[in-house]
Amino acid sequence: MNRLEIATQVKAMLYLNDAQINNSISAATLNKFINLSYVRLWNRIRSQVSKDASCDFVDTTWPQSAATMDVPPSLRDSTILGVYRRNDNGTTSTRIPVQYQAPQVWAWPLADGPASGPINIRIYFKMGAEPLVDDDSIPAMLSPEHHELIAFETAIYILKLRNRDVPPVWITDRDDLEFYATKDLMTKPLRNEARIRPNDLSHIIWLG
């Protein structure tokens, strides 16, 4: 389901329960609630699975003599766990204690940056729920069969926000869908990217 399809299902659920609430919510507000619910859901599911089931890494290069480096755009909605030197054989060694110079800019620990040449690095991160920016956006953190869960979470959130009673069956269905989404994450890799191997986890400093 894309964002538009999720919104359509939410509006159908709200209309059957409370047409007045359904008619009072603008498209922009509904899209905001869908994004909030997606983030809430993903954080909840991610907290229930093992660390390596919801984490990943990406390899890149810190430019020679560069004092700063922009955080890769694909990681800006993720929790960074650590930055490490990447060896030629694909393993990692020294942790690089990079600091944030700005919200999306890392500063190299030494003033002159990697003076000896470009440094191959590996960035470990917890994958975050990406913003659904338009109607065609598809929630990437959840498999397609679990996208309906976002609709239930959003509809429940809206009714609670308006101090209305939530149909018990909605909560039951939401909980069942969330259980299967969590179970699915435990057994399937996220996206099609390389997963963290067990021997890579031993030296990670987990930030929460």
Picking from 53-62, 100-109, 127-136, which range would have the lowest pLDDT averaged per residue?
A: 53-62
C-beta separation of 97 from 107 below 8 A:
no
Give the C-alpha distances (Å, rounded to integers) separating 194 from 78, 112, 138, 198: 16, 32, 21, 12
> Does the reported pTM lie above 0.75?
no
Q: What is the residue whose two structure tokens read 């975050």?
A: 128
CA pair distance 62, 59, nearest whole angstrom:
10
d(CA 193, CA 125): 13
**Across residues 28-48, what is the average pLDDT?**
92
Q: What is the mean pLDDT of residues 16-38?
A: 89
pLDDT value of residue 54? 62
Would the pLDDT of 196 be above 60?
Answer: no
- Note the pLDDT tens digit of each residue in 108-135: 887 667 777 888 998 888 777 888 999 9
Q: What is the DSSP string of 4-41?
A: HHHHHHHHHHHHHH-HHHHHH--HHHHHHHHHHHHHHH
DSSP, collapsed to helix, strand or coil, labels residue 122 as: strand
Between 164 and 128, where is the model more confident? 164
The one-letter amino acid at 197: R
Q: In the chain, which residue ranges form alpha helices assigned H by DSSP?
A: 3-17, 19-24, 27-46, 148-161, 168-187
Query: 7-26 pLDDT, tens per residue?
Result: 999 999 998 887 888 788 89
